[in-house]
Amino acid sequence: MWKKIRRLLSICILAISIILILWSYLPDQRLVEVHPVQPGLVGVKPIGEKQPSLPGKRQVRLEWPSSMRIGDEGKIMLDFEYLEEDSSISMLEAGFYDMYDSYNIMAETKLEAAGIKIEPANPTRVSILPGQSVHLEWLINSEQAGTYRGKVWLSLRFLPLDGSTPVQVPVYVNEVDLKVTSFMGLSASMARFVGGVGVLLSLMLIFNDMIHWSNDRKAMKTTMEKEVY
């Protein structure tokens, strides 16, 4: 009777341990949003009759984990991507001027999410070179399970080369939902540890049975060999 209970207990512990280990290694689910952006340059002064223009078409690509485990480090990535300008009309012919001739241009980003640890926590600024894309990212984690709502901001900051007052123009804002999960209150690292201990425990419970089974096989093999000879 005890042998049957021991075997059943070993199978249950092994099954739960394997589930814990598999859960701890499942990849995070990720979402991606791509949004075309053509910044409205409100507050940027014209030069004579020419209006300001930021050369090239651009888009924002935002990628974030829709689900992650407690204690895990997730990553939110934002790209302000430069796309080739598909136009036969130059800016000068259309009555615009290239802003790079008068400004240094920077991208300023910020991520806000209550209850989530964010690195870097402060706004980040990156220079935007002509014809180049920029990549920014945040590392996030939480020790509490739950659903958290965050907000991603992107602004362009124009710094006049003549030293006059900078102009900041918001170009993109988006809300992201971050679902943080746990398995029976365990983080991924703890789930791996508990799962590993459970596998060892389940093997210890049936260790004697495995030895007896191995000995029985050897005895059966020996008997069959004697019968053949």
Q: State pLDDT tens for residues 69-91.
A: 988 889 999 999 988 765 544 55
Q: How confident is the model at residue 109 (pLDDT cuts 50, 70, 90)?
A: very high
What tokens does 43 get? 């507050």
d(CA 93, CA 73): 50
DSSP state, residue 28: P
d(CA 46, CA 50): 6
d(CA 58, CA 156): 12
Q: State pLDDT tens for residues 148-161.
A: 999 999 999 988 88
What tokens does 203 get? 């093997």
The matching CATH number, chosen from 2.60.40.10, 1.10.10.1590, 3.40.50.1000, 1.25.40.10, for 28-181 is 2.60.40.10
Determine the pLDDT at residue 205.
67
Q: Which residues are registered as beta bridge partners of 79?
A: 61, 135
Question: In 10 A of CB 53, how many CB atoms?
Answer: 18
Question: In 10 A of CB 38, how many CB atoms?
Answer: 10
φ and ψ at residue 197, rounded to 5 degrees: -65, -40
| The model's pTM | 0.74
Going from N- to C-terminal start, the domains of the chain cover 28-181
Q: How confident is the model at residue 111 (pLDDT cuts 50, 70, 90)?
A: very high
- How far from 206 is each of 6, 16, 194, 199, CA to CA, in Å? 7, 16, 19, 11
